[in-house]
Every structure is written in structure tokens, then in C-alpha cells.
Amino acid sequence: MKIAFFDAKSYDRESFLRAAEGKNIEFKFFETKLWEETAELARGCDGVCVFVNDTVNAAVIDRLCEIGVRIVALRCAGFNNVDVRYAAGKIVVVRVPAYSPYAVAEHAMAMLLTSIRRTHKAYIRTRDFNFSLVGMTGFDLHGKTVGVIGTGKIGRVFIDICKGFGMRVLAYDKFPGESDGFEYVPIERLLTESHVISLHCPLTEDTYHLICADTVKKMRKGVVIINTSRGALIDADALLDGIKSRKIGAACLDVYEEESDFFFEDLSGHIVEDDTLARLISMPNVLVTSHQAFLTEEALRNIAETTVENILDEGTWQEKDLGSNS
């Protein structure tokens, strides 16, 4: 099987080549992202492998079908960048529902600790032999209330980490499960009582701009917001306004609504034309990482192995009824 691999990075190549070794699969790596203008690169391939910022809309799906592509293999859990309804009956879509909830949850906590204890600023200061502690005062997590929106695998691991710090945990989920050492509450109560709010939910019509001007108004003054899920869960302009008004005390962002034009690329020698992103990064209480939460050796291995298995499990997809999408 030949698979066109879009938005490829060095770490992708290494993990996927290892996972494909000795198997009936060959990857053609492309650095470009998949969208309407690049879909032609998949000609002669049986499938495509895509990531979070590739575009798999109706036009791309039609083009892939025209050139004989039969499967779209997402090497991620989220699939908001795929028109799955349009794909039904036309092309098989598979994903990696779980690769390492620990990677993402631990990164969320790492960002929180970095932000509130100023460790990133301390590192920069001491590199210049500046050992002053002025402006470095943080606060204890112990005894604080954390609101976790989304209690899937990642959300629950994050909850366990927070419990280890002695935090009180409130949670909201559209489909709540069993609660162990935390309390499910209406989202309005979570917003008003939480010192820290961490997002661990998928991007859907219901969760689009979940954090907006109206929800920010309901939050506790000085709240810290963490997002390691999907950028569009937060209205970036409302977030910026909340920071400027001092309503939001800090923001830890591993994702951004318009990240597809910036994240995963080295733009250090360029002018970033997204004014909202540039202003957020310039804020002293905003910490941004470029969709890095998944990036551990364990997660990369699991993503590659699961994706290869997904493709090989569809070994008879040429003969399948493509209406039964995975």
C-alpha cells in the first residue's frame, strides 16, 4: 500500500518508518499540508495520512476520490478538520482515538506550573546572572479549585494530577461518567468557582467558542485558563479582552484558533500577520506552545503504530462497502 503522508516532520518520519518496517505499507512524505491545491500529490497512492491542520473538506474528498484514494488516516484523535458526513459512503476515515492521555495531561500541568511559578522567566533571568526575585511571586495550587471541562481519558488523567496537588476538582461534561474524588457541576458553577479552568473536550458545534465574552464575564477574577485541546474552543479576541481587563489572570495555550498558518513552522525571521496571536504572545501572563502537548516518545510510537494498524486493518477496503466508515 502506498500512503501519501502530508505535513510531515522529522519526528513523524522516524516513528512511522519504524512502525511500517517489515509491513506491506510505503509512505511518501510531503512537508506541505493537504488541501485542495495539494491533493493531486496523492495520485497513485491508496490513501493519505493527515494531521490536525490538514484540510479534508468536501472539495478535497472529491479530489481524493477522483484520483483513486480510498482511505484517510488521521494520525490524531480530533477530526474537526474532516467533513465526516460528506465522507460517508465515499471514503474510509480512521483516526487514533487514544495515543497517550498522559502526554497531553502532563503538558497541561507543566504549562500551569510554568505560568504560575514563573519558571520560564526565572530561566531567562539566571542565564543573564540576574538572581532577583522581584515579580516572581506565584501561588500554591494546593487548596485551589480547578474546573475541568471534558472528562474523557485526558481530562481524567489531568484530574488525577490535580488531585495529587491537593486541588478541589469540579468537572463538566455533556455526558458525565462516574466521579471519583471530584464533583460534576453545571458549567455556570464551574466558571464562577474555579481558580483554574482546563479544557479537555473535542471541538463540536456545541463547544465552538465555549470560552467567549459571555463566559469570561462569569469567571472568577484572576482565573487561569489552559487549553491543550482545540484552538476554536476559545474566542481569542474575547480571551485577549479578558486579559487586558485583568479578569483573566493568565492563559496557557498549546492550541490557537488560527494556528494552521503558524504552528509547526519556524517563523522566527518573519512578521506574524495575525495581530491577535502576536498580542497574546506579547502578554507577560500568556504562555504559548505550538501544539506540543502530544509530543512524547511514547505518544509518537503509539500514534504511528495505531495508524499503521488502522491502514492495514483496512486491507480489504478496496472490496468493502465504503459507506461503513471507521
Place of cell 474532516: 82
C-alpha cell, 171: 468537572
- 70, 230, 257, 314: which one is catalytic? 230
Place of cell 480530533: 78
| Whole-angstrom distance, CA of residue 253 vs CA of residue 293 | 10
| Whole-angstrom distance, CA of residue 177 vs CA of residue 184 | 9
In the three-class reduction of DSSP (H, G, I as helix; E, B as strand; rest coil), residue 171 is classed as: strand
**168-172, strands of its sheet edge to edge:** 183-184, 168-172, 145-149, 196-199, 223-227, 248-253, 286-288
Contacts of 286 (CB under 8 A, 6+ apart): 243, 250, 251, 252, 253, 280
Active site residue 200: no
| Whole-angstrom distance, CA of residue 255 vs CA of residue 241 | 18
- 75, 107, 291, 314: which one is catalytic? 291
C-alpha cell, 179: 466521579
Contacts of 202 (CB under 8 A, 6+ apart): 78, 80, 150, 229, 230
Active site residue 230: yes
| Whole-angstrom distance, CA of residue 124 vs CA of residue 104 | 25
- 259, 270, 273, 301: which one is catalytic? 259
Place of cell 460534576: 184
User: Do 94 and 310 form a contact (C-beta atoms < 8 A)?
Assistant: yes
Q: Which helix (H) or strand (E) holds 208?
A: none
Active site residue 189: no
Cite the active site residues: 230, 259, 291
